[in-house]
């Protein structure tokens, strides 16, 4: 393109020299014509990237690994001149997101639309945009880029797998009896009725009592006797094991049950799947991890709890220097008796087994999900001894290896027993 302009410059100079030397106006007129073409091409190129609107729309700002992200684009020509061609270059950080497009001739006041469907391959928080619009003149003399700095963010949740049956946490009372304490949410234990108050949900109105008493009455509920469940996800740097080619293989689609060969990804997927399982069961679930900063979510049984934990897991990374033993020592002190602690880790440090024993002695039920690091390429180690230490401490143990069906591994376990302390 620069060579073409240089050719025009040389022709203009050559024609001007011939015109002055020979005195013939033909060469001067030719030089003026070439100059006018050059100026007109410059103006055309500049107007081609101006007086246009680009709209970018997504259905949601959240996606999940293995699912598609749909985006819709529209370019509108607001000028009275046609746009011969437009090249829209997208600079989004979402892997495999190919939203760039070459727009054909766009007549005045016309619109061009296209859409993209991108399969999300990696969890995380990504940026959609900015974009660059490039266009030029019909002679190919000039090319103008225009930067569109508007951006938006999207968060990609980790994948989840269905868990059909997991080790049932023990409740504070046997037989499903109610705890005599009022709850602000709906539970399975109805305690009675009271007069309707402003702000009460309509789905809590007891219509039979309302019809009998001729005034609005709502149901009251008591706390479920089942104890809280706490998820502890170990994302310590010392426990991370992954194949070296993983970082250079971002384009591959890892949809469940095919997960990246990384203990971090397996741990995050297991935590997300168990969160979904307990929330759907209506259990009060808490969550603790260091990823790398302290992240703690107090127990709650609403569906918002799933969203909060998935947002943390989407950007979680194994970058903390705290070991699992230190995390349990710091965070497990506030757990009440009969609480269930689910520990997800790939650590082979035997020190944290002592913390499991201490929790069991306090009346806390511990379930350990061990991600076998040797199946991911870690150096050989005596994992049987750690497994026996944890079981002797009173914990239930699930073992997950690379390539295992997580649904089958978490949904079925033989020989599950409870220990009375």
**Residue 170 pLDDT:** 54
Same domain, 218 and 240: no
Do both 201 and 138 map to the same domain? Answer: no
Q: Residue 182: its pLDDT value, please?
A: 52
User: What's the confidence (pLDDT) of residue 225?
Assistant: 57
The residues of the chain scoring below 70 in pLDDT are 1, 168-191, 221-226, 244-257, 380-383, 412-421
Same domain as 214, residue 239? no
127 pairs with which residues across the strands?
A: 153
Considering Cα of 289, then 291, then 292, then 297, what sign does the dihedral take? negative
pLDDT for residue 59 = 87
pLDDT of residue 417: 37
Domain CATH number, residue 402: 3.40.50.410
Beta carbons of 94 and 128 less than 8 angstroms apart:
yes
Q: Are residues 121 and 54 in the same domain?
A: yes
Instruction: Please state the length of the chain.
Output: 421
Buried b (16+ CB within 10 A) or exposed e, 181-202: eebeeebebebebeebeeeeee
Q: Give the integer Cα–Cα distance in Å for 298 and 88.
A: 46
Residue 162 domain-assigned (yes or no): no
Q: Are residues 139 and 238 in the same domain?
A: no
pLDDT digits (tens, 9 = 90+) for 358-369: 999 998 999 999
Q: Rounded to two decimals, what is the model's pTM?
A: 0.79
> Any idea what DSSP says for residue 177?
P
Count of C-beta atoms within a 10 Å radius of residue 217 = 21
Number of domains in the chain: 3
Residues 6+ apart with CB under 8 A from 160: 64, 256, 269, 272, 273, 276
């Amino acid at each position: 393109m620069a060579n073409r302009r240089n050719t025009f410059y040389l022709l203009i100079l050559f024609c001007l020299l011939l015109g002055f030397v020979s005195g013939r106006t033909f060469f001067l007129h030719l030089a003026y014509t070439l100059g006018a073409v050059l100026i007109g091409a410059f103006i055309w190129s500049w107007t081609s990237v101006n007086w246009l609107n680009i709209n970018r729309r997504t259905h949601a700002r959240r996606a999940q690994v293995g699912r598609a992200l749909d985006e819709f684009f529209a370019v509108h020509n607001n000028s009275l001149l046609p746009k011969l061609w437009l090249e829209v270059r997208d600079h989004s950080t979402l892997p495999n997101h190919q939203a760039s497009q070459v727009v054909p001739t766009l007549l005045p006041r016309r619109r061009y639309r296209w859409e993209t469907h991108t399969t999300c391959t990696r969890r995380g928080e990504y940026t959609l945009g900015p974009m660059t619009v490039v266009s030029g003149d019909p002679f190919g003399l000039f090319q103008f880029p225009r930067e569109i700095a508007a951006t938006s963010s999207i968060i990609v949740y980790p994948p989840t797998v269905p868990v059909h049956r997991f080790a049932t946490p023990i409740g504070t009372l046997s037989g499903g009896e109610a705890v005599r304490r009022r709850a602000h949410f709906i539970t399975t234990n109805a305690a009675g009725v009271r007069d309707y108050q402003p702000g009460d949900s309509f789905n809590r109105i007891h219509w039979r009592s309302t019809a009998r008493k001729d005034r609005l009455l709502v149901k009251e509920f008591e706390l479920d006797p089942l104890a809280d469940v706490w998820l502890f996800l170990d994302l310590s740097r010392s426990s991370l094991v992954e194949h070296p080619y993983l970082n250079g293989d971002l384009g591959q689609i890892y949809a469940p049950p095919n997960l990246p060969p990384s203990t971090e990804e397996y741990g995050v997927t297991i935590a997300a799947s168990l969160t979904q399982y307990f929330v759907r069961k209506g259990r009060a679930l808490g969550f603790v991890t260091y990823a790398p900063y302290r992240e703690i979510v107090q127990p709650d049984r609403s569906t918002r709890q799933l969203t909060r934990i998935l947002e943390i897991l989407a950007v979680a990374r194994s970058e903390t220097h705290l070991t699992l033993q230190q995390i349990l020592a710091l965070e497990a002190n506030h757990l009440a008796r009969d609480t269930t602690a689910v520990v997800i880790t790939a650590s082979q440090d035997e020190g944290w087994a002592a913390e499991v024993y201490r929790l069991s002695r306090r009346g806390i039920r511990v379930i350990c999900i061990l991600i076998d690091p040797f199946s991911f390429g870690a150096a050989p180690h005596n994992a049987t001894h750690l497994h026996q230490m944890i079981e002797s401490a009173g914990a239930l143990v699930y073992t997950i290896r690379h390539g295992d069906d997580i649904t089958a591994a978490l949904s079925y376990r033989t020989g599950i027993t409870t220990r009375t302390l």
